[in-house]
Amino acid sequence: MSAEATSPGARSRRRGRTSIDLRRLGRAALLGPASRDRLPDAIGHVADAHRAHHPDADLLVLGKAYVLAEMSHRGQFRKSGEPYITHPLAVTLILAELGAETTTLTASLLHDTVEDTDVTLDQVRAEFGDEVCYLVDGVTKLEKVDYGAAAEPETFRKMLVATGNDVRVMSIKLADRLHNMRTLGVMRPEKQARIAKVTHDVLIPLAERLGVQALKTELEDLVFAILQPEEYERTRAVIADRATTGPSLDTIAVDVRRTLREADISAEVVIRPRHFVSVHRARLKRGEMRGTDFGRLLVLVGEDADCYAVLGELHTCFTPVISEFKDFIAAPKYNLYQSLHTAVAGLDGAVVEVLIRTHQMHRVAEAGVVALGNPYTPVDGAEPADGERADPTRPGWLSRLLAWQESATDPDTFWTTLRADLAQDREISVFPADGGMLGLPAGATCVDAAYAQYGDGAHGCIGARVNGRLATLSTVLVDGDTVQLLLAQGPVQAPGDAGGVGGLGDAGGPGGERTGPMAGQAQEAAPGPSPEWLDHARTPAARIAIAGWLAANPESLKVPESEPRAPGAVTAGRRGVANVVVDVPEDATVRLAGCCTPVPPDDVTGFLVRGGAVTVHRAECSAVGRMAALGRSPVAVSWGDEAECRVTLYAESFGRPRLLADLTEAIATAGAAIVSANVEPPSEQRVRHTYTLQLPDAAGLAGLMRAMRDVPGVFDVRRAQHEPAP
């Protein structure tokens, strides 16, 4: 943009790579606008490309926009030496070749006028309407004079917010960056590297998310040449030698055409060479490259059903590589992409990748949202034709980005978080139990799902069910999971104001402090997120919300203090829990930790937790070390006189018929009552049983465990030492 404009005396050090004749454009631009009865000569190639996609387009508005742009930029030159008007013309040509509609092309011609000339947004609005004005404003940079070092991140923030209302803003920005990258050779090497790095980190991921593969692949190659010049030259040499590396794609393409012709399937079969970055990645993955590794076969058909007919013929007449099959027609990618992917082996054993799609799918695959024209205005009120997918005005990834950027008020935080978010190049879909769908980046956890669904209300999340089973909030989700987030019924309070601990575990969480909602009991108030949640949050929205709550509630990291009192006997408030004597107020609640279920005469220690309760652990429990690391002081605990106790046992066994019946019979014979039991599905012929048992006397625990071990098929029985898996 403005950085490209120089005085007329500027000289070009090296001509950049271009896709149009800049000399011809420069001469035409210097002649000025043409007469009113025809388009200016310089914009003729844009008009031809536009009419190829939109035969009935009204070109008068393009001529009018060109006249304003040419007059405004007259006297300005790029560092490459060409008149500056060649830049908006080149950007407009890129978009016209992708099939952009007239409004987008009009705005692209004017996209630098407000930034680099005396033209104002009010003038643009008066001449071309609100839509064009909005698009031009969306891509206009913020001034460094006003924003200093924050100008670049704040400009991107402004463009992203504008893109949230109209994705055509980002289409113009991507084309603008592509032409600047094509002509970047005139810049200093350090500036080339800086621009290429931002393009790699921000613009290329955005092009991928908007499905504009034609721009994305060329940007990747241009960035590759600047940031990794040695690898780029090595890849160039490998591509130059590809003709001598085995069977060619041409031979297999001939066989595929013949196969489809004999099956009476009308299809166009073309060879799609891999671009430089794709060849580089394939070479790193496969080592030695064969002729068929340098490209793919693209099969274009008329209807969706024809795609599957082609697939059936290829898998019948060639040997399919089943692991390479993907159906992006039935399950399109989040960026509108639709195709069938497969790979087949020819008679000579050469494997070739094949992409199968309709012509409409191909247009969308290449141009993404650009190919959809104005996605917000139905054509004559009609629904999209079969095989076409309307562009969502607010894709899931963009909605998430716009949501968290509001909380990232600091430009550095926004810039760093934006790059990290865009680096996550895959998206999954998960389904809340109460309906709808959540789009999340790959690797997202239940923590991320909670904040995506409930926003700040997720501070009160206490657990989750994934596909119907209890799961920790740290559980990584996969595409298609059903997620039910469990929220506390009371309001979120700062730690110390309510019982429980905001952890990542299920009932009896880390240290056994948590009971209630995960065990089917309601909690009066949620304690808020734990610092450990940050370790498992992948989305910026979740991380920003958690960090904000923790910063606003610093007491969440403190241990509530209590004044010492004379020892007194306190009984836990549930039936069957052994008496313990602790040094706390008489009305305090005592809980035997669910992670290690201590029983007499175990060595025990206690810790005061939020809400004034005391949790009792076995001395060797791993939670004791965690409590000490947090600076919590132990509370003196001793056993009372009652012998009755409750304990949790894990039994590991091999699967066999009647195993469960034999185990429960052994438990009953030992005089223990089963409070709860869980048997996990077999894994590699092994079965894990979890029993919570009530014993009349702790002295009988050792005999009970021996009796369970004696059951045929059981190879281990042990006490709980840590939080059981869900």
Cα gap 147→168, rounded to integer Å: 25
The C-alpha angle with vertex 533 and arms to 532 and 534, in degrees rounded to 5, equals 90
Cα gap 222→206, rounded to integer Å: 16
- Number of Cβ within 10 Å of residue 51's Cβ equals 13
- Number of Cβ within 10 Å of residue 12's Cβ equals 15
Cα gap 283→305, rounded to integer Å: 35
The C-alpha angle with vertex 543 and arms to 447 and 337, in degrees rounded to 5, equals 75
* Tokens found for residue 572: 């836990």
Amino acid at 647: V
Cα gap 131→128, rounded to integer Å: 8
Cα–Cα distances in angstroms (integers) from residue 200 to residues 162, 181, 218, 227, 416, in the given order = 21, 11, 12, 9, 14
* Tokens found for residue 42: 């310089």
Cα gap 445→606, rounded to integer Å: 32
- For residue 646, the number of C-alpha atoms closer than 13 Å in the C-beta half-sphere is 18
> Is 620 a catalytic site residue?
no
353 touches 297 (CB < 8 A): yes
Cα–Cα distances in angstroms (integers) from residue 3 to residues 80, 359, 702, in the given order = 12, 39, 80
Cα gap 645→229, rounded to integer Å: 71
Backbone CA torsion sign across 367, 368, 369, 372:
positive
Pairing, β 340-345 against β 319-320: antiparallel
Q: Give residue 333's region: left, alpha or beta (phi > 0; psi -120 to 50).
A: beta
398 touches 534 (CB < 8 A): no
Catalytic residue among 115, 127, 201, 642: 115
Cα gap 536→599, rounded to integer Å: 34
164 touches 426 (CB < 8 A): no
Catalytic residue among 4, 82, 112, 116: 116
Q: Choose among 549, 542, 572, 563: nearest CA to 495.
A: 549
Map residue 560 onto helix, strand or coil.
coil
Question: Which residues lie closer than 8 Å to 56 by C-beta, 6 or more apart?
Answer: none
Distance of CA 149 to the CA centre of its chain: 28
Backbone CA torsion sign across 528, 534, 539, 545:
positive
95 touches 104 (CB < 8 A): yes
> Is 116 a catalytic site residue?
yes
For the annotated catalytic residues, the residue numbers are 115-116
